[in-house]
Homo-oligomer: A and B are copies of this chain.
Amino acid sequence: MRHRNNKRATIRDVAKVAGVSPITASRAMQNSTKVRPATRQKVVDAARQLDYIPNLAAGTLATNASHLVAVILPNMSNSIFADTLQSISDSLRDSGYQLLVGYSDNSPELEESLVRTFLSRRADAIVLTGHVHSDQTNALLKSAAIPIVEMWSLNDEPLGACVGISNFDAAYSMTDYLFGKGHRKIGFIGGLLENNDRTQSRLDGYRAALMAHNLPIDESLIRDVPFEFEDGARAMRELLSNNNSLDAVFAASDILALGALLECNRRRLRVPGDIAVAGFDDERLAKLIKPSLTTIGVPRRAIGEKVAGVVLAALRGEAETQRVFDMGFSLVERESA
């Protein structure tokens, strides 16, 4: 039942109805152990009777703890990040933390403005993707005195902690694998290399593997495109028209690889007979498409769980034993390469 006036009940109202002091009512609602069960019951009943909804803004102001963990992702549409986000969310829920998510679009400026907002909202911790940030962002994060976690790539000198995989090693492995399958003219389709340390490292790994096998690095075999299916298809078209001896393509993302693969299908190129295609991420579609896609498996959920674990440990004030967590990758061999 609500009162006639539509102003929301406060903890003081609840306390009055329960016949206790506001602070006792507050403790009762927090499940503090310092309240007698009978008292708690009175308070809970009063709260229910008044349709009491606590005001977290007031709580945040008083305790300087928002119970918000901010997460910055590059974009909304890539399901890769969605899986990691989901597992962070799941792992934090039980501890009473909620996610505040922002999307940077790979723009350091947008990221900086997100960080500012998150600090304004007094987020208890901030999780970022990658380690490319503006100087201002770095300064803000350093002086924030809250746990900071960078994820998805590794970094010897993380701002706080970092949880990810070696994108360099993974790309190196895949390129090496393609070489092992006899391919000598291997194209690379990267996504938005600028301000993206993940694709940048993957490109570096690709180059390093080529060099290790004394293959020339042909810049005309390298395409930098946005992260959509269509872009993968377009990049494949361009690579095919420029290089008639191309025999393999390694895409820095399954989205791009799938686009490329579909383009091959459309042209009735046999994969991997005429051309091999390899991706990165192990998207759900990768094993369903025909031919199924050889790719790099990334422990997306494990990354999220570890991120949440690191954040929680830091928030509990536990001493850090480790700052860099390499979650490992796997080369998933399927039909396409």
Q: A interface vs B, CB < 8 Å?
A: 2, 6, 51, 53-58, 60-61, 66, 76-77, 79, 82-83, 85-86, 89, 98-103, 116-117, 119-122, 143, 145, 228-230, 233, 258-259, 262, 265-266, 284-285, 288-290
Nearest Cβ in chain B — how far from A40, in angstroms? 19
Query: Cβ of A100 and Cβ of B103 under 8 Å apart?
Result: no
Give Cα distance in the complex from A143 to B5, angstroms: 11
Are B284's CB and A53's CB within 8 A? Answer: no
Q: Which residues of B contact A58 (CB under 8 A)?
A: 57, 61
- Are B103 and A51 neighbours in the complex by a CB distance under 8 Å? no
Asked whether A262 lies within 8 Å of B284 as measured between CB atoms, the reply is no
- CB <8 Å contact, A86 and B77: yes
Tallying the copies of this chain within the complex gives 2
A121 and B56 contacting across the interface, CB-CB below 8 Å: yes
In the complex, chain B residues whose CB is within 8 Å of the CB of A288: 229-230, 233, 259, 262
A76's contact among B60, B82, B143, B229, by CB below 8 Å, is which? B82
- Residue pair B119, A53 in contact (C-beta under 8 Å): yes
Specify the chain B residue showing the minimal Cβ separation from A98: B117
Given contacts A53-B116, A77-B79, A228-B284, 20 further A-B contacts (CB under 8 A): A53-B119, A53-B120, A54-B120, A55-B61, A55-B120, A56-B122, A57-B122, A61-B61, A76-B82, A76-B85, A82-B82, A86-B103, A89-B103, A98-B100, A98-B117, A230-B288, A233-B288, A259-B288, A262-B288, A285-B285
8 contacts between A and B (CB under 8 A): A54-B120, A57-B121, A57-B122, A77-B79, A98-B100, A230-B288, A265-B290, A266-B290
What is the CB-to-nearest-CB distance from A55 to chain B, in angstroms, rounded to a whole number?
6
A55 to B233, CA, bound (A): 47
Q: Give A47 Cβ to nearest chain B Cβ, in Å.
A: 12
* A253 → B minimal CB distance (Å): 14
CA distance A2 to B140 in the complex (A): 11
Residue from the set A61, A143, A233 with the largest chain B CB neighbour count within 10 Å:
A61
Q: Which residues of B contact A145 (CB under 8 A)?
A: 6
Residues of B within 8 A of A61 (CB): 55, 57-58, 61
Which residues from B are CB-within-8-Å of A56?
A: 120-122
Query: In the complex, A77 Cα to B145 Cα: how many Å?
Result: 33
Bound CA span A303–B122, Å: 32
Question: Shortest beta-carbon distance, A235 to chain B, in Å?
Answer: 13
- What CA separation (Å) do A229 and B53 show in the bound complex? 40
Contacts of A265 in B (CB 8 A): 290
The answer to whether A77 touches B66 (Cβ under 8 A) is no
Determine if B57 and A229 form an interchain contact, defined as CB atoms under 8 angstroms apart.
no
- List the B side residues contacting A55 at CB < 8 Å: 61, 120, 122
The reply to whether B77 and A82 form a contact with Cβ atoms under 8 Å apart is: yes
The interface residues of chain B lying within 8 Å CB-to-CB of A229 are 284-285, 288
In the docked arrangement, what's the CA distance between A288 and B255, Å?
Answer: 12
Cβ–Cβ < 8 Å partners of A119 in chain B? 53
Known A-B contacts A98-B117, A284-B229, A288-B233; the reply to A57 vs B60 at CB < 8 A is yes
- Distance in angstroms from A275 CB to nearest chain B CB is 16
Complex Cα gap A229–B286 (Å): 10
